Structure 1
């Protein structure tokens, strides 16, 4: 149950975890790493729009295969003096690197699959000769 106080919307840990389909432990882990910084009211965590946005960026980065330290750099750049522009330039460079890595992995997988196919054919032919 998100609360509204003037223009500020907040979320509980349960709400934010449910929204992003992650566990409370995952949210707390990102908090421990300093990637998100919810407000604390006693023992209650109160998540603001900034935390919610950052969590979304963290999870997108993880889905794309970026390590947490790269994700931290990307997110922190948003707060840098050049802000969004420097963040976008950095992200584009990281995307190029990640794409090149994934494309190489695809080539490696394709080569391994081709080699398995050739080996399978050889084994089947060998088995037929022995039958």
Structure 2
């Protein structure tokens, strides 16, 4: 169980950006899109555990190639009546779609590489015959 002190911990924009390997500008962009809502102390943004977790989910989703709209929907499902269950069911369906897309891209890349190999060999053969 987390202690009250851990639950109340806050992070600056610099700390969350560094931890997640993103820029301050990216963090502010995600805030502008409503993916996080840090508290303010004057002009300073104060990120709480929830904000940090949400940013982590956004960054992971982006690295997996999910569009921000899908990431927002996944994150928002957590607060829905069925909460974590509906979120997980939706995520699984999105993973299936993403995997199919990536597998098709892999086939396309492999076909392009094969075509390049064939073209390269033709060029080499033609050069060799001169």
TM superposition score normalised by structure 1:
0.92
TM superposition score normalised by structure 2:
0.92
Cα displacement string for residues 45-84 of structure 1 (whole angstroms, at most 9, x for unaligned residues): 1111000000000000000000100100000001111000
Cα RMSD of the aligned pairs, angstroms, is: 1.4
Residues 1:69 and 2:69 aligned together: yes
Tell me the distance in 2 between the aligned counterparts of 1:128 and 1:104.
36
Tell me the distance in 1 between the aligned counterparts of 2:88 and 2:7.
28
Which consecutive unaligned segments of at least 5 residues does structure 1 have? Answer: none
Structure 1 residue 7 displacement after superposition: 4.0
Cα displacement string for residues 9-53 of structure 1 (whole angstroms, at most 9, x for unaligned residues): 111111111211221111111101100000112211111100000
Tell me which of the two structures has the higher relative contact order, counting C-alpha pairs closer than 8 angstroms and 6 or more residues apart.
Answer: 2
Give the alignment of 1:46-61 within 5 angstroms.
46-61=46-61
Judging changes above 3 Å, is the alpha-carbon distance between structure 1 residues 100 and 26 closer, same or farther for their aligned structure 2 residues? same
Helix, strand or coil at the partner of 2:129: helix
Do the aligned residues in 1 keep the contact of 2:9 with 2:49 (CA within 8 Å)? yes
Number of matched pairs: 127
Which consecutive unaligned segments of at least 5 residues does structure 2 have? Answer: none
Give the alignment of 1:71-110 within 5 angstroms.
71-110=71-110
Tell me the distance in 2 between the aligned counterparts of 1:129 and 1:7.
74
Tell me the distance in 2 between the aligned counterparts of 1:6 and 1:20.
19
Structure 1 residue 90 displacement after superposition: 0.4
- Which protein is richer in strand relative to its size? 1
